[in-house]
Amino acid sequence: MDPQIVSSGDGTIDEQILVLLQHHGRLTFLTLADALPLYTWHALFAALNRLRDLNQVDLLPLATDYEVVWRNGRERPSLLSPRAYLRV
């Protein structure tokens, strides 16, 4: 049976991911996939992209995985610190 059809909607997988992240703070993608075995990787990445667009999670690339971080209402950090700008 297709796991994407089993879910009652996209909100279900999103909520399950958020519950796990609220408890753990951060997980690797592979750990998340093991914790939610009913969903395909495609469904998990689609949910993570939705949550990222809503500024609820960040995805950080690792060598062979991704780290999924719960944002908990925090501002997205700038890639450059305020002191990194060149003063002319």
Percent of the chain with pLDDT over 70: 72
Query: What residues make up the domain containing 59?
Result: 3-70
Percent of the chain with pLDDT over 90: 68
- pLDDT tens digits for 9-43? 578 999 999 999 999 999 999 999 999 999 999 99
In a domain, 40, yes or no: yes
In a domain, 76, yes or no: no
CA angle 26–74–69, rounded 5-degree value: 15
Of 77, 84, 70, 76, which is closest to residue 20 (Cα–Cα)? 70
3-class SS of residue 77: coil
DSSP 5-48: HHSS-HHHHHHHHHHHHHHHSEEEHHHHHHH-TTS-HHHHHHHH
- Pull the structure tokens for residue 27: 């997980």
In a domain, 44, yes or no: yes
